[in-house]
Structure 1
Amino acid sequence: MNRKDWLASLAVDATPTIEDCIEQLGATFPLLYQYKETEQDPQWHAEGDVYIHTGMVLSELYVLLSNEASHITGESRQALILGALLHDIAKPMTTRRKEVKGVERVVATGHEAMGRSYVAHRLLNLELSYSVVDSVMGLVGEHHMPKLLVIKQMGAGEYWKLARKASMELLYWLEVADMKGRICEDLNEQLDLLAQFRLFCEEYQLWKEHKPLLQLAADMAPHLVGLDETTKDMVFARTMRDFEEGDISTFEEGIARTYSYRQGFSEVYVLYGPSGSGKSTWIERFGPECEVISLDELRAEINGDRSNQANIGKILNTARERLKTYLRAKKRVIWDATNLREDFRSLICRIAFDYHAFVTMVVFHKSENQLFVDNKNRSYPVPEMVLRSQLDQLEWPVPEEAHRYWVIDHQGNTIKQSGSFKRNNCDKTTGSINN
């Protein structure tokens, strides 16, 4: 069976083994070949390595899909199976031995977020809809969160955040399979934590869609009449963010907090994307009236060559000072750089937040294969080894890094939004993975 048909079969009734999955997808996700070599801590995974565990998780998931979760069909079923296969994909990169309280343990710290980053551009090489790609990324990146939210007794706001990144229902079923697909002493306790997670999701109306955001937009709509679309987004996104942080409890508080900004506020668009993502083309179309701070252009200005990486401190300081000047003047600003690391992005976002700017994260999501093709056709291509390094080290952005979050496809179209008033107010069928 060819790959396209094999992937399509996951949406119907296929139950491939771990061997089948690796045969079909190993070339796209080479870390799958390292599952057998990746050990796990015997206290939590007495069954053995990641290969054995993942095979057991898939088997348990198929049992669930034929019984309690038989209502999960089509693309949701496809995403859930791929999420199970890939949920520990970064363990080969992160697994190490560490002494904890005098005992040597096997840990894989951060494998969830690193896994999402690893699959982000590779998933687009496959014959999948974007909703499936987005859903799989959410499952891989957030599969540790259901139990953690319960253990830490987190409030509704943290559940709101999670529901903007992943389907809560699919996360639940993935984690039930994850727990049952291992040998550990506290299985019943782990499953009880997941049962509590489901109850909280249902209580907060987040189980199948992010109903609170739809309700928030509906409640706010009469108060936003006459405002332009960006201002509506600003009021809505700031209120949403304040709810998530636990700073307010009613939408009226959110509206009141934004009155002082409505007469004029700066906007900052922080771009993310490896070389060849289409950032420059998008800027030409979107931002002719914006101030653009380009690190490439600053390298050309200061070093005489946009590819010269010298004087990085001076370049960054110059860029930050220009940003602050524009923010004081309440300008619209585009921060044009690859911004592949979260700490680089957060530094710019913090400056913008300090100046009360409205911040949009613009994420360019193009397949790994297309990135290499398009890089060759750029006016200023980077060496292939540099692009490969970017893809291996990138840290995928998440919605809470900014007020508003846009994902741009290879054609320059916006294919996902978070923090948009219009989308939440008008699209009543939108599920949690697309909010």
Structure 2
Amino acid sequence: MEWKLTADKDWLKLEKQFSWVADMQNVPQDPVHHAEGNVAIHTQLVLEQLQQSSDYRGLNRQRQELLWTAALLHDVEKRSTTSVDRKGRVSSPGHARKGAQTARQILFRDVETPFALREEIVGLVRYHGLPLWLMDKVDPMRSALEVSLRVNMPELKLLAEADAKGRICRDQNALLDVLELFELYTREIGCWYSPRSFATLNAQFTYFNKADGYVDYVPFDRFRSKVTMLAGLPGMGKDHYVTNHNEDIPVISLDDIRRRYSIDPTDRKRNGWVVQQAKEEAKIYLRRGQDFIWNATNITTLMRQQLIDLFVSYQAYVKLVYIEKPYSQWRLQNRNRAYPLPDVVLDKMLHNLEVPQLTEAHEVLYLA
């Protein structure tokens, strides 16, 4: 069955249906780069340009819906990031990153969206400006190869092209020229049609996680142990996964440590101690070369990275398993847990959720 954000694409009806669309009317833009006016005007122009594109019309209806939704959402968080300086210049730093988080919440909580489609839309929102700024990155190749693992590059260019055409500015032709260079470059490095393939999972992990990584380097697989690291919001089914997949190996569970010492999950200070206790247990297994499971929420990239860096420093192979259920099922499962969390806590954690990416570990599995 074909997924749709909404059947009616009329702008006035979109404003009535979605408060975040109505908010766009009140968000100004810098007249140098967006002389057309506010975010609502710009977004409508972007949608028009997208739908007029022959490349867009050549896509199947599901891919069209995916791109249309990404275009509608691409500037959704200019509402929270826009400011005006003393000289009257308008800017919205970080709007793409924050917009991606908001897009994920909307497509998980408000409009049930298949996981893979949702994460593609989130990726398009997050990187809609990349084609224009790729060559300004410290390492353009690594940035392009990483993003190609999340989104379809021709569709990313289509979105960026609509974004460039859906505005009034003096440098529009220059922007469109940059987009052509983006296509040429990503074709050259081998990630235009599909992600570049690596010889081994370890080669891919090493390239994206070493400061001096070389794209064709193939490291020896000298692993001493395997760490299965779980990630997912509370109540998604991580304990169930452990019960059904534990091959008689140790499990380090932050929830178990909290209950052992009667520590409230919302107590930040004492939870820092809980994490340190868990790390000390992990180090014992890592020194022995013992496989184990790390069972915790691990919902942010930074949180996961710190742990994976620790595991890898002991020559462990890291398998990252992300677990997710539909929104309504998740809330029901939480209520039926022996130790349910308040809705306000779950809402905050959902807001902070960063779904793991394929570059983060040697192996990444999505159970969603």
TM-score by length of 2: 0.88
SS of the residue corresponding to residue 303 of structure 1 reads coil
Out of 118, 132, 141, the residue aligned to residue 133 of structure 1 is 118
What's the counterpart of residue 75 of structure 2?
A: 88
CA pair 147-268 structure 1, distance change in 2 beyond 3 A: farther
Out of 49, 58, 63, the residue aligned to residue 71 of structure 1 is 58
Task: Give a deviation string over 1:221-277, Cα, whole Å, max 9, x none.
Answer: xxxxxxxxxxxxxxx111123445663353xx41xx214x1xx42222333222221
Superposition deviation, residue 382 in structure 1: 0.6
What's the counterpart of residue 425 of structure 1?
A: none
Superposed, 1:7-406 pairs within 5 Å as: 7=4, 16-24=9-17, 26=18, 30-64=19-53, 67-98=54-85, 103=87, 105-124=89-108, 126=111, 128-152=113-137, 154-210=139-195, 212-213=196-197, 216=198, 220=199, 236-244=200-208, 247-250=213-216, 253-254=217-218, 257-259=219-221, 261=222, 264-303=223-262, 311-406=270-365
Superposition deviation, residue 128 in structure 1: 4.4
Q: Which amino acid aligns with 2:52?
A: V
Please give the alpha-carbon distance, in whole angstroms, between the structure 2 residues aligned to 1:308 and 1:155.
Answer: 41
Please give the alpha-carbon distance, in whole angstroms, between the structure 1 residues aligned to 2:2 and 2:121.
Answer: 19
Task: Give a deviation string over 1:86-120, Cα, whole Å, max 9, x none.
Answer: 11222223333456xxx454333222222222222
Unaligned runs of 5+ in 2: none
Please give the alpha-carbon distance, in whole angstroms, between the structure 1 residues aligned to 2:40 and 2:249.
Answer: 50
Q: Which amino acid aligns with 1:41?
A: D
CA pair 332-18 structure 1, distance change in 2 beyond 3 A: farther
CA pair 309-153 structure 1, distance change in 2 beyond 3 A: closer
State the Cα RMSD in Å: 2.7
CA pair 332-146 structure 1, distance change in 2 beyond 3 A: farther
The number of residues matched between the two structures is: 365
Superposition deviation, residue 186 in structure 1: 1.4
Task: Give a deviation string over 1:184-227, Cα, whole Å, max 9, x none.
Answer: 221111111111111112223322222x31xx4xxx5xxxxxxx
Alignment check: 8 A CA contact 1:299 1:309 kept: no
CA pair 132-393 structure 1, distance change in 2 beyond 3 A: closer
Please give the alpha-carbon distance, in whole angstroms, between the structure 1 residues aligned to 2:264 and 2:143.
Answer: 45
Q: Which amino acid aligns with 1:177?
A: A
Please give the alpha-carbon distance, in whole angstroms, between the structure 2 residues aligned to 1:19 and 1:356.
Answer: 57
Q: Which amino acid aligns with 2:318?
A: V
Please give the alpha-carbon distance, in whole angstroms, between the structure 1 residues aligned to 2:280 and 2:257.
Answer: 12
Task: Give a deviation string over 1:26-60, Cα, whole Å, max 9, x none.
Answer: 1xxx4333222222233222222221211111111
Same amino acid, percent of matched pairs? 29
TM-score by length of 1: 0.76
CA pair 20-304 structure 1, distance change in 2 beyond 3 A: closer
Q: Which amino acid aligns with 1:355?
A: Y
Q: Which amino acid aligns with 2:344?
A: M
Alignment check: 8 A CA contact 1:17 1:58 kept: no
SS of the residue corresponding to residue 400 of structure 1 reads coil
Please give the alpha-carbon distance, in whole angstroms, between the structure 1 residues aligned to 2:51 and 2:288.
Answer: 58
SS of the residue corresponding to residue 122 of structure 1 reads helix
Please give the alpha-carbon distance, in whole angstroms, between the structure 2 residues aligned to 1:367 and 1:44.
Answer: 40
Unaligned runs of 5+ in 1: 221-235, 410-435
